[in-house]
Structure 1
Amino acid sequence: MTDEAVLLDRLKSVTSELATTDPTATLADLRPFADRFADVAVVGLGEATHGSREFFQLKHRLVRLLVEELGYRSFAIEANFSEALAVDDYVVRGEGDPREALDGMYFWTWNTEEVLAMVEWMREFNADRPPADCVRFYGVDLQFTQGPAEALREFLAEADPAFLNEVEDSLAPLESEESNGEHTPIGLDQLESTGSLLGKLDDRLDSHATDYADATSPERVEFARQHRRTLEQTYELAREMHEADDPREAQGLRDEFMAENVAWIHDHGPGNAVALWAHNAHIQKGATRGAWEQFDPMGGYLADRFGDDYHALGFEFGGGSFQAFPHPEADADGGLQKWSTPPLADQLPLGLGGASDGDGGESEGSSDERESPDDDSGPVDAPVQFQEAMRALDGDPLFVDVVAARDDDRLDQWLDDYHTCHHIGAVFHDEDDRTEFFTRYRLGRELDSVLFVAETSRAQPVGGEE
């Protein structure tokens, strides 16, 4: 038996084929690996694109497993904390319109029929349950000021109207819709007044905590503190962006803050664990190799906080279609579109380069990276790429138990090498050179499991394709 055949035979032993992506189907095919998620604090559910129908459907199925069979009650998504609470109002109490609530999070990525179906399922699950046993819907992001500013206004209007009048001039500009989607979330001319406001809010929430709890509730005071903290996070991110030569240099702060918000949800939300929905780039445990990786991801901070009680489940696909905006350099005015890419296994090798090949987009990596024997040749690429192995196993979808694979020396070494995978976010272009939409994972270090879909289709925007 060849070395490749041995590798694939061992990989098959830690890989399971799922029956379907249908979120309404029985969960029987997911139960064999449910123990991986039974005793952890946070499960990160990733995605290789922000617009693939099958990824969203599979994550819906996994959330059902976590909630129905493992007792998870806190769900968190890569969206703004304050704005996401409108979805929470719907899933817990049936208040509001779920379509308007999803749209109000400002993240087009989740304004899809697939996410709406999961929200409707959450509402159905919660319908006859006491509040303490309901699934809660949270956001972990912090990129806009309008949501937290409006939430703080609503709280102060009830708990402390006199103080609201005192801070009105500083609070009102942060509620403007014009701030949403700007290059920086807070203008340079607003930084000083916002910083002063945050200090006053902090002092007031501390000195009047008991009075505020009597006027509202202890839970609402804790939420007010978190609204203030997410506003402060946005302020700190904006300040870093203004000071940096390139605003993208400050984006690592966003991941650090999102991890902080996940920890807050874990500590304050119901149940003992959090199901976390975000891109692979955020849930992975360390920086990979590619054009995007300039900072430590949210998953790395969560691994530092929770250790082995954080489980990172990445998603990958062979090829297919998805939705994204056109790359600004290719079409600055283009709207949300359907894109497609051929099977990655047919395109290998992509020539993404290594640590010493002069590609300025590469992250330097840690000092313990396993490089090739020749120091000038860069990191070691696996002789059999993950994409090639998934095709050879001939199943769809496939769940790869990376934790179990680490116990096999041959698989552990293979996973410690670099594997080229998709890395597609909000934008895409169809030019010949697409290398910026791929990355190189050391799968054994960055992820604890992987779900692989052979071919994807476009996620469906609420109300139909745009």
Structure 2
Amino acid sequence: MRPGPEAHKRPSQRPLMRGGLVLLLVLAGLAAQAQAYLNLGLEPRANRGQPLALWGLTVPPNGRAAFDSVVFRQGRSSLRLELPATEAAPRAAYLFTGLVPLDSTRGQLVTVSVWVRTRGWRGTIRLSANNTATTIAGLTTQTAAALDSLPNADWHRLALQVPVRAVAFSFGLSVQLRGSGRVWLDDMQLSVRGRPLPELPVPATAALLRPAEEVLTTNWDFERRLPYLTQPDPAATTATLDSAKAQHGRRYLRLMRPNAPSGPAPAAYLGALRLAPRQGGQRLRVLGYWRRPGGPAGGGPPPSFAYRLLSYRASPQGGAWLPDTLGTAANLPAPGPQWTSFAFDVPMQGFFSASTDPAALGACALSVVLPSPGALELDNLTFTLDGKPYAPTGPPGPPPPTAAEQAWLRTALRPLRLATPATAGPDLAALGSILRSARLVGLGEVTHGSQEVFSLNARLSHYLIEQKGFSGLLLEASPAGCAALGDYLRTGQGDPARLLAALEGWHTPAMLDLVRGLRAYQQAHPGPPLLLAGIEVRQPEQALAYLGQLVEAKDDFAQSRLRQLTQLLADYRQPATAELDLRFGPDQPRDSLLAPLRRLLAELGTDFDTRSKLGPPTNLQLLARQRYYLRLVEQGATWRRLDPSAAENYRQACLAENAHYLSQQAGGKLLLWANNRSVAKFLTPDERPMGEWLRATLGAGYLALGVVLGQGRFAAQSPAGQWAPATLAAVRPGAYEAWLRSGPPAFWLGLSKLELTEDNAWLFQSQLLHDLSYADAHNQYMLHSLRAEFDAVLFVRDSTPAPLLP
């Protein structure tokens, strides 16, 4: 959901997800192209922005985990975990991995440590390490643990020692939190004889660092040029496609490791082979050819292979690849100056054993390890399953739009112009006709940083207000910040550029032109005043400050309550340390902050009402505005106390309540400019957007217009609040944009009255769609259903970053 720029600032809470795969050369010492690292320092930019790619993380319901760039012991961040209090058994969170590299730890006494910081913590923190080996008696595991309880401690080192067996095949770490409160973790270390071990790449993990859809793009005979070959690392291993004497076809892969200091052997990632549940338990054999012209420089151990089985976990955000079994293939026929065949088996016993889904997806990622300097050449990798040739075809990909589908779109769409002014033209006249009967029109945006979206929405707002009888504009922005703009429309007082600057992210040239144009229209039509107001609930401090401006300075009763409310809001935390059940306990008498806040708001409401009725007659609009801002403070305070899983649905309901109230106050038709996800009439069964509330309340009186972008760039806001250009992700096959971009540069398409045909069936299916807000995102796509969400969609093919006024 859209985190508006005026929202309560807090560290990013993006989901901590693992990534996918690309055909890249993996170098041990190059972070940008390396295999994944454990990231013991818990830095958010590690592993291509997937810091926990090699970790598992579980938090209880209503718990949270996020990287904290404000509180940390070293580097740039720490991992913050928040566990709610509960009357039942203590909740537990786990951070764990079984992928610790073993090369430097086998046969050693290893010290494992982590730095911990706590606030309001009630419970235990347990650091554990274990290593497993195979003996004649079977599997045996050795475990060590350190336990501590730290209620309110600054950085404190938790450490343990564990002897790692010389024959261990796995080494795991875990941190378990059991209790409630806040805990920060940072600067984990593995040490031997008092010296910290360097972070080493984990073999065969390149598959976890790239988008999941690239996993099955393979080139086992090396006939096609590989993307990474244009960016070799001259200081370590380089890779090229050569054609001097191929074993098969025209080309082969040539890897060169120059003489280098001792250290972990670099590995070149080769690709991943698609597997399915029916292949679990079968014998996968890898066959190929290699040679070593001139032999290894200075002698040394021969090359080997590392493989890792991967499983795929699907999700609405696009899914992720998860690491499974790691294995190595050594003692192969040494490569000589001529092509030498090799073969090795990849055991798959137990792989897919827990899957009953025939569509489940797995893969075997392959890397070749180069322990010695010199050249190694590879060619013609093939595979067998239980002795039969295996050449997976991969999952079916979405086909491109057909000529008939493109022809249907061209006949159904209506072109649009982006430029202002809002002269009446056939494009807007046709769109205006479908909005004639609406009382509220939700005007969406796929991102808040597109100049073209600002221009299109501003032009449409001009047109509907000046020529179709709409009486104002509501923004998904701070009501207090919008109040001064609304006064400017009515009175002309103030500098609109300065007033817009108070709405961070809205101060663009297109928005300034719109505000000035509406003021000119108001001057030329001095009838009912135009409305420009905000509906956002996430700034209760701003709402309270504005409420103070509506209270007489001599009203000591109200002023004392305002001061108490200011202090309460300053002490608020999000979410509350205890679970709030507002459905069955709306008064929340046990909540030390929410209960007194509601009491003070009720006392203020009584004061306003009594004074207005017992004193001289006052403007009833003032009393209505006071009551509205009381409600805004309560909404924002309640939203801040809720867990994020419930807070967004609560916020969307409040946005709808505020929009409906202002619509009733205005007594006319209003435009509602907000994010696509807010104006939508439906999202998922678990999400309740503002548009769904308004459609349930107003019926056909609410219409939703979605805005879609095809390609280009936009302005994105960083967690620190700075704006910088970002790039829209390329259109994916099967995304709505794949069809929409076949039309003109800008158009609108009605959706509510479509009849299903073979040529528009793609609009009747859930598809991927760009889904952004103020910030950029690692995955810019989400599943959507355009027809269920919007009455019409406005499409703009090319986007440029929205410029901000100085």
TM-score interval, smaller chain: 0.7 to 0.9
Shift of 1:8: 3.1
Asked if residue 54 in structure 1 is aligned to residue 452 in structure 2, the reply is yes
1:195–1:235: 8 Å Cα contact kept in structure 2? no
2:219 maps to: none
Encode CA deviations 1:349-402: one digit per residue, 9 max, x unaligned: 5xxxxxxxxxxxxxxxxxxxxxxxxxxxxxxxxxxx432222323x01011111
d(CA) in 2 for partners of 1:455, 1:233: 38
2:773 maps to: 425
Normalised by the length of structure 2, the TM-score is 0.46
Asked if residue 150 in structure 1 is aligned to residue 545 in structure 2, the reply is yes
d(CA) in 2 for partners of 1:93, 1:339: 38
Equivalent of residue 312 in structure 1, options 697, 704, 723: 704
Letter in 1 for 2:640: A
Larger radius of gyration: 2
1:253 maps to: 650
Cα RMSD of the aligned pairs, angstroms, is: 2.8
- Unmatched runs of 5 consecutive residues or more in structure 1: 350-384
1:239 maps to: 641
2:445–2:453: 8 Å Cα contact kept in structure 1? yes
d(CA) in 1 for partners of 2:498, 2:592: 32
Over 3 Å counting, the alpha-carbon distance change for 1:127 and 1:174 in structure 2 is farther
1:299 maps to: 691
2:747 maps to: 398
Encode CA deviations 1:151-184: one digit per residue, 9 max, x unaligned: 32222217x71432442431443787x98xx867
1:348 maps to: 733
d(CA) in 2 for partners of 1:98, 1:229: 27
d(CA) in 2 for partners of 1:66, 1:99: 23
Encode CA deviations 1:294-335: one digit per residue, 9 max, x unaligned: 621111111111112111101111111101124x5xxxx572
2:128 maps to: none
Shift of 1:418: 1.2
Equivalent of residue 453 in structure 1, options 788, 796, 803: 796
1:363 maps to: none
Letter in 2 for 1:210: K
2:709–2:797: 8 Å Cα contact kept in structure 1? yes
d(CA) in 2 for partners of 1:92, 1:167: 31
Equivalent of residue 74 in structure 1, options 472, 492, 495: 472
1:324 maps to: 716
1:149–1:174: 8 Å Cα contact kept in structure 2? no
- Unmatched runs of 5 consecutive residues or more in structure 2: 1-399, 577-590
1:312–1:449: 8 Å Cα contact kept in structure 2? yes
- Secondary structure, aligned partner of 1:121: helix
Letter in 1 for 2:511: V
1:146–1:174: 8 Å Cα contact kept in structure 2? no
2:424 maps to: 27
2:213 maps to: none
Higher relative contact order (CA 8 A, sep 6+): 1
Over 3 Å counting, the alpha-carbon distance change for 1:396 and 1:211 in structure 2 is farther
Equivalent of residue 561 in structure 2, options 153, 162, 167: 167
- Secondary structure, aligned partner of 1:169: helix
Shift of 1:6: 3.6
2:558–2:604: 8 Å Cα contact kept in structure 1? no
Letter in 2 for 1:446: E
1:335 maps to: 722
1:313–1:447: 8 Å Cα contact kept in structure 2? yes
Letter in 1 for 2:748: F
Q: How does 1:64-463 map to 2 (within 5 A)?
A: 64-105=462-503, 108-132=504-528, 134-157=529-552, 161-173=555-567, 190-211=593-614, 214-240=616-642, 244=643, 247-270=644-667, 272-287=668-683, 295-326=687-718, 333=720, 335-344=722-731, 347-349=732-734, 385-393=735-743, 395-404=744-753, 406-410=754-758, 413-429=761-777, 434-435=778-779, 437-463=780-806
Normalised by the length of structure 1, the TM-score is 0.77
d(CA) in 1 for partners of 2:486, 2:640: 27
1:378 maps to: none
d(CA) in 2 for partners of 1:281, 1:130: 36
2:123 maps to: none
1:27–1:61: 8 Å Cα contact kept in structure 2? no
Aligned length: 394
d(CA) in 2 for partners of 1:47, 1:40: 19
Q: If each structure's helix is expressed as a fraction of its own residues, which one has the higher value?
A: 1
Letter in 1 for 2:452: E
Over 3 Å counting, the alpha-carbon distance change for 1:168 and 1:80 in structure 2 is closer
Over 3 Å counting, the alpha-carbon distance change for 1:147 and 1:175 in structure 2 is farther
2:541–2:566: 8 Å Cα contact kept in structure 1? no
Letter in 2 for 1:455: D
1:149–1:175: 8 Å Cα contact kept in structure 2? no
Encode CA deviations 1:85-111: one digit per residue, 9 max, x unaligned: 011111211112222322223xx2212
1:170–1:193: 8 Å Cα contact kept in structure 2? no
Encode CA deviations 1:28-68: one digit per residue, 9 max, x unaligned: 02112211111101111101111000001000111112111
Percent of aligned pairs with the same amino acid = 24
- Secondary structure, aligned partner of 2:521: helix
- Secondary structure, aligned partner of 1:138: strand
Over 3 Å counting, the alpha-carbon distance change for 1:131 and 1:152 in structure 2 is farther
d(CA) in 1 for partners of 2:629, 2:680: 26
- Secondary structure, aligned partner of 2:749: strand
1:352 maps to: none
d(CA) in 2 for partners of 1:232, 1:116: 31
Encode CA deviations 1:221-267: one digit per residue, 9 max, x unaligned: 11111011111111211222xxx3xx354121111100000001110
Over 3 Å counting, the alpha-carbon distance change for 1:427 and 1:189 in structure 2 is farther
d(CA) in 2 for partners of 1:462, 1:25: 22
Letter in 1 for 2:473: F
d(CA) in 1 for partners of 2:484, 2:786: 36
Shift of 1:449: 0.7
1:92–1:131: 8 Å Cα contact kept in structure 2? no
Which region of structure 1 is more displaced relative to structure 2, 123-132 or 74-83? 123-132
d(CA) in 2 for partners of 1:154, 1:174: 19
d(CA) in 1 for partners of 2:721, 2:653: 31
